[in-house]
Structure 1
Amino acid sequence: MHMGNIFAFIAPYSQVSQQWPPTPTFDPKRDIPDLTGKVIIVTGASAGIGYETTKELLRKNAKVYLACRDIRKGERAVGALKAELTKEALETQDCCHQALGEGVVLQLDLSDLVSVKRAATEILNKEERIDILINNAGKEKARVINLSSSIHTIAPHKLGFDWKVLKGGNERDRAISQLGFLTNWRLYGVSKMGNVLMSNFMTRYYGDKITSCSLHPGHINTRLFRHVPCTEYVLLSLGILHPVYLGAYTTLFAATVVPADDINGKFFQPWARFGRTDPRASNIDLQDQLKEWLEKQVEEFEMSDQGPSAVND
């Protein structure tokens, strides 16, 4: 029996089961329905998990906006995706895959709120609705899929979220210095906890209009590890890191297969399984605090098309 199947039977929600998942029963080519007419945004779509996710969505005839920081990389990704899917269709003589979806490059730098507003405005001008947003009006609810990680469980602090690390200056430096061993991974855990908290408050505040969930895509061998020291990378690679294409499975499952009402407020784990979050992510006060902080960050961008400089002027 596959070792991952054993772990899933004994302790399905454990870290071990997420590091060594069971054999996937979900097959994107087989299980994703036709997505003709669906408009989807995938951030970080030019490489890694985002690229593989986009490939399967295009295979099923969706219109996909590849939200990328670098337009040229996005355009190269669109060309590569078309070539891969066309070649595969010809080799398999699968005529139904000849009519592929449409890939559109959208310039988006998530670290720059001016870029975020510009991209949002462009989408609003081009599309009447967005069916799925995967973070790399209509009769049906839109879906927001937030990629988090099982690493959110190692976020320090009793709340799992230390506001000091979001502040500048000495206060932040002191908070970071107190993290000690594995500082970078713990900070990463804080960011992933933030993803889950955001997904949960979106469910609470906007659940009647959209559905939102978070997920752990798996321990995937992506460019995320390009800055990891060699020793750590070797340890991570010992049976823990999985092929990139598998990293798209859980995202695709939540985005296209599970009924929309069934994903709201849920957490998914690899491969394409319902999971459980750290209990700290259910803290309503913390969710509300994060919501207020995020709204404060974008407040001045809502006031002006130009961003902070125009407001200050």
Structure 2
Amino acid sequence: MGGLLSVVQQSFPPHPTWAVDDIPDLTGKVAIVTGSNVGVGKQTVKELLKHNAKVYLAARNATKANTAIAELKDETGKEAIFLQLDLADIHAVRKSAEEFLSKERQLHILINNAGVMIPPVEEITVQKYDMQFGTNVMGHWLFTKLLLPALLAVTDASPTREKARVVTVSSSANYFTNEIDFEAITDGPKRRKYDSWNLYYKSKLGDVVVARELARRHGDKIVSTSVNPGNLDTDLQRHMPRWQYAIVRHLLYPASYGALTQLYCATSPAAEDANGKFFIPWARLGKANPAGEDAKLGEKLWRWLEEETEKH
């Protein structure tokens, strides 16, 4: 009941009190936003560019990414840098991280924004994991882990002991499950017993768990937060049946609203002490599913991710 109440309350948030104009000057800061050629990610890149950050637009499709980069340059006068990233392929994630580390020594802001929602159950990652957990959780976890040298270097190079920011995008879906079924992440009969929505719920809980565990492990040099960006009218609904979309579209907000919460966590001085916290629309401190705060689950998931990714 508490989870449902949280979902309802977060679906009708009050007017935001924090705005993109409140973002401080980001000159000298390096940022990566995943899945940022469209929707909330693109809006996020736009605001980071406008405030003088050096931004890597990480996306799978080079053509779409370069189109977005050109459009953003027209709008901001600043040019993002394309970083090829396919979160559904462990080898591609490794290659992407290597490419970034060959160019940059520090990474001040990492926004794990990309995600997939309710694709057909038959869709799996290159290494045969569930597409939603593999993309939303595994791909982002590995990308973040591989980028740790650049993230941790921010504090080491800062006279004020500044911390890097890592923002992981979850959703209100994290409230709809209290478990991660480890036997249903790799494709097989157990996984196929779930429908796409249940698999989505588990991936979004996984995002919260990973963000909390990152905060526990590296909170001395990283501010790790997770967010519910809100109910947004974006490409994320592309797999939703038309009749469902016809119902929910009246409850959806523009993508620009969704960028607010992750931009707040990534840039606001007020979020410097928010390590391990969960934020809700629009840029407000909230509470995630209590299961996401389970330290034993966090340790188990982290260890499972290490073991599974090391296989490939």
TM-score (norm 2): 0.81
Name the residue aligned to 2:107.
130
Aligned-residue offset at 1:172 = 2.5
Superposition map of 1:47-196 within 5 A: 47-86=38-77, 100=78, 102-136=79-113, 137=153, 138-139=157-158, 140-155=162-177, 159-174=178-193, 176=194, 183-196=195-208
Name the residue aligned to 2:10.
18
Q: Which amino acid aligns with 2:206?
A: G
Gaps of 5+ in 1: 1-12, 87-99, 177-182, 301-307, 309-313
Aligned with 2:310: secondary structure? helix
* CA distance in 2: counterparts of 1:64 and 1:17, whole angstroms: 33
* CA distance in 1: counterparts of 2:269 and 2:90, whole angstroms: 32
* CA distance in 2: counterparts of 1:22 and 1:141, whole angstroms: 30
* CA distance in 2: counterparts of 1:285 and 1:122, whole angstroms: 34
Name the residue aligned to 2:140.
none
Aligned-residue offset at 1:164 = 2.4
Q: Aligned residues: percent identity?
A: 45
Matched, 1:276 2:287: yes
* CA distance in 2: counterparts of 1:167 and 1:116, whole angstroms: 18
Map Cα deviations across residues 247-283 of structure 1 (whole Å, 9 max, x no partner): 1000111110144541200000000100101111111
Please identify, of 30-39 and 184-193, the stretch whose mean Cα deviation from structure 2 is larger: 184-193
Aligned with 2:225: secondary structure? strand
Specify which of 248, 253, 258 is matched with residue 242 of structure 1.
253
Aligned-residue offset at 1:221 = 0.4
Aligned-residue offset at 1:153 = 0.4
8 Å CA contact 1:39–1:130 kept in 2: the answer is yes
8 Å CA contact 2:33–2:112 kept in 1: the answer is yes
Map Cα deviations across residues 114-150 of structure 1 (whole Å, 9 max, x no partner): 1111111111111110001000213211111000001
* CA distance in 2: counterparts of 1:258 and 1:21, whole angstroms: 22
Q: Which entry has the higher C-alpha Rg, 1 or 2?
A: 1
Aligned-residue offset at 1:21 = 0.8
Q: Which amino acid aligns with 1:59?
A: K
* CA distance in 2: counterparts of 1:64 and 1:260, whole angstroms: 20
Q: Which amino acid aligns with 1:17?
A: Q
Q: Which amino acid aligns with 1:135?
A: N
Gaps of 5+ in 2: 114-152
8 Å CA contact 1:43–1:50 kept in 2: the answer is yes
Matched, 1:289 2:266: no
* CA distance in 2: counterparts of 1:147 and 1:105, whole angstroms: 21
8 Å CA contact 1:46–1:74 kept in 2: the answer is yes
Name the residue aligned to 1:303.
none
Matched, 1:200 2:219: no
8 Å CA contact 2:264–2:271 kept in 1: the answer is no
* CA distance in 2: counterparts of 1:237 and 1:169, whole angstroms: 34
* CA distance in 2: counterparts of 1:204 and 1:44, whole angstroms: 26
* CA distance in 1: counterparts of 2:83 and 2:62, whole angstroms: 7
